[in-house]
Each structure stands twice: as C-alpha cells, then as structure tokens.
C-alpha cells in the first residue's frame, strides 16, 4: 500500500487578510511557521520516505520546517504550484465578490479543467517515480481541493471544502486507485484542537 499525505502550507499574511494568493509568492507569517512546526511534531512519530513540494515559498518553507526532524529527500514539482487566479490575485473576498460576482469572468485565470489535468499528472508522476514510498506532499488549497474533487468524483473538494492552513489529508493507493481516508484534519494544530476534520467513508 502506497500512501500520500497532503499538507496545505501554513498561514501567510495574505491568508490572514483573506486575499487570494494563487501564483503570487508570499512567505509564511509567524502563525504559519508555528503551524508548520506543529505539523513537524506530528510527523516525527512516523516514518516517511520523501517530501514533494510546490516551488512557491509558502509551500517550500512549510516543507523545510517539516524536514528539520525527518531529514528525508525534498523534491520540488511544478505540477503542484497553486492555481493562477489571474486578475483576482491580491484581492480580498469582498473585493472579488464586487468585481467578479460568483467568481466569473476573471481574466488570465487558469481553467479548472487544465488545473485538474496538471495536478493529476503530478500524482501520476509520483506514482511512477516513487513506487511503494510514503510521500508527504506540501501544496496549496486549490491544488489539494482539486485532488480531493477528482478522487471523490466531486463529492468534496473544489467549491465544497474549505481547507484550513496546515491541514492534513491522507490518501492510500489500493486496488489500483487512490482512496481518500480522511481530509482537512487539524487535530495536530493547537489552535484547532477541538476540530477533528472529516473522514471519507
């Protein structure tokens, strides 16, 4: 059984302000670094073979903090860079709703179908290049929600699941397909220790 643990990067100042980030390369803030440290503590009690990360700073910084105790190979993969939100990047939710009602007509935004193709190509690459390994994949809300949406046939994920910064979602490869075991788990984060996330059963 192969396993991939999806980790959303820690919080940034833009996350805290409700600004959409996309490809804009924003660093973790103090809360995000603490979240990553709590993730690292969670993973320190288990064995992993490799970390795959998006090349954007907030993901790479999260991966680096995770790896301080794990000391395993870290691989950057462009397939898992966040969705490009075009002209909406840098806008708050209120600003987006005013300028782009229902999220429509945003110029230069990456289409959802192309995002899904790119991200699932990355999943296939992991499966082919690192067979039988346990992988931690550090990525973004849009990317992880796309994976969850594809694997659940749209029951969860994009448009339905609000992923919390530094949340964990576990995938197992069984019977020639990826299965979602649990998603949006945050019990390892002190600020959400009453929140148990959701299981896909």
pLDDT digits (tens, 9 = 90+) for 150-170: 999 999 999 899 999 999 999
Domain for residue 89, yes or no?
A: no
Q: What is the helix (H) or strand (E) element at residue 147, kind and residue range? A: helix 141-151
Q: How many CB atoms lie within 10 A of CB 21?
A: 22
For the chain, count helices (H), then strands (E): 6, 7
- Interatomic CA distance for residues 62 and 84, integer angstroms: 20
Secondary structure (3-state) at 61: helix
- Give yes or no for residue 74 having a pLDDT over 80: yes
Burial class from Cβ neighbours inside 10 Å (0-12, 13-18, 19+) for residue 138 reads: buried
Whether 199 shows a pLDDT value over 80: the answer reads no
d(CA 122, CA 136): 13
Domain boundaries, position 152:
2-84+111-199
140 is catalytic: no
pLDDT band for 104, please (50, 70, 90 cuts): confident
At 75, the pLDDT band (50, 70, 90 cuts) reads very high
Instruction: Identify whether 173 is part of a domain.
Output: yes
105 domain-assigned? no
Beta strands of the chain (E only): which ranges?
2-8, 50-53, 74-76, 134-139, 168-174, 177-185, 198-199
* Average pLDDT of the residues of the chain: 94
Average pLDDT of the residues in 120-149: 96
| Cα–Cα distance for residue pair 51/64, rounded to 1 Å | 9
Residue 94 in any domain: the answer is: no
> Which residue in 89, 49, 87 sits closest to 70, CA to CA?
49
Q: How many CB atoms lie within 10 A of CB 101?
A: 9
194 carries an active-site annotation: no
Mean pLDDT of 75-84: 98
Q: Give the closest residue to 53 by CA, choosing from 41, 36, 31, 38.
A: 36
Q: Is residue 104 part of a domain?
A: no
Could you tell me the CATH number of the domain that includes residue 67?
3.40.50.1240
pTM of the model: 0.94
Q: Is residue 98 a part of any domain in this protein?
A: no
Instruction: Check 11, 82, 89, 110 and give the catalytic one.
Output: 82
**Does 60 reside within a domain?**
yes
Domain count, the chain: 1
Q: Is residue 139 part of a domain?
A: yes
Spatial CA neighbour of 148 closest among 111, 200, 109: 200
């Amino acid at each position: 059984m192969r396993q991939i643990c999806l980790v959303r990067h820690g919080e940034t100042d833009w996350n805290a302000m409700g600004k959409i980030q996309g490809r804009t390369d924003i660093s973790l803030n103090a809360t995000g670094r603490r979240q990553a440290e709590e993730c690292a503590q969670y993973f320190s009690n288990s064995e992993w073979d490799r970390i795959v990360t998006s090349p954007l700073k907030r993901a790479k910084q999260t991966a680096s903090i995770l790896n301080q105790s794990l000391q395993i190979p870290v691989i950057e993969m462009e397939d898992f860079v966040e969705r490009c939100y075009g002209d909406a990047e840098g806008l708050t939710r209120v600003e987006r709703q005013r300028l782009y009602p229902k999220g429509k007509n945003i110029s230069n935004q990456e289409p959802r179908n192309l995002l899904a193709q790119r991200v699932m190509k990355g999943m296939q690459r992991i499966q082919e290049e690192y067979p039988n390994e346990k992988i931690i994949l550090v990525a973004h809300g849009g990317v992880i929600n796309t994976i969850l949406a594809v694997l659940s046939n749209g029951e969860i994920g994009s448009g339905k699941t609000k992923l919390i910064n530094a949340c964990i979602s576990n995938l197992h490869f069984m019977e020639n397909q990826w299965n979602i075991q649990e998603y949006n788990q945050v019990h390892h984060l002190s600020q959400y220790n009453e929140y148990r996330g959701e299981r896909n059963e």
